[in-house]
């Protein structure tokens, strides 16, 4: 997540300096890709960000020790740098549904 913040901030600054929205979009996509890669390496779902994973853990009521505090820290960072309040809760991919994720991952088993 820290990597996402750093990439996002750097590309946002460059995009602001040069007035290029496409550069900002490109930076955002790279940051999101790195975030999803880190989540996958931590044995999470490949199409889920770390923020979404933390939000889902808090929402289900079964967070591990320190997850609520980590979520609060992520919310504060995204609110401070990007004005995104409740980032962790908004990052949960509800439209896909938890059970659909297992269908999506079936091809990894073969």
Number of domain units in the chain? 1
Separation between Cα atoms, residue 90 and residue 83, nearest integer Å: 13
Count of C-beta atoms within a 10 Å radius of residue 49: 24
Domain that holds residue 69: 2-109
What is the pLDDT confidence band of residue 27, given thresholds at 50, 70 and 90?
confident
What average pLDDT does range 2-30 have in this prediction? 69
What average pLDDT does range 96-107 have in this prediction? 53
Whole-number pLDDT of residue 69: 93
Q: Is 54 exposed, middle or buried (0-12, 13-18, 19+ CB in 10 A)?
A: buried
Count of C-beta atoms within a 10 Å radius of residue 8: 20
Instruction: Say if CB 58 and CB 71 are below 8 A apart.
Output: yes
pTM beyond cutoff 0.85: no
């Amino acid at each position: 997540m820290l990597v996402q913040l750093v990439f996002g901030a750097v590309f946002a600054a460059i995009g602001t300096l040069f007035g290029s929205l496409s550069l900002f979009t490109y930076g955002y996509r790279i940051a999101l890709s790195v975030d999803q890669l880190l989540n996958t390496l931590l044995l999470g779902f490949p199409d889920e960000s770390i923020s979404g994973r933390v939000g889902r853990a808090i929402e289900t009521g079964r967070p591990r020790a320190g997850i609520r505090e980590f979520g609060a820290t992520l919310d504060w960072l995204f609110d401070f740098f990007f004005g995104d309040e409740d980032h962790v809760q908004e990052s949960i991919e509800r439209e896909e549904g938890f059970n659909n994720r297992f269908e999506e991952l079936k091809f990894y088993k073969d």
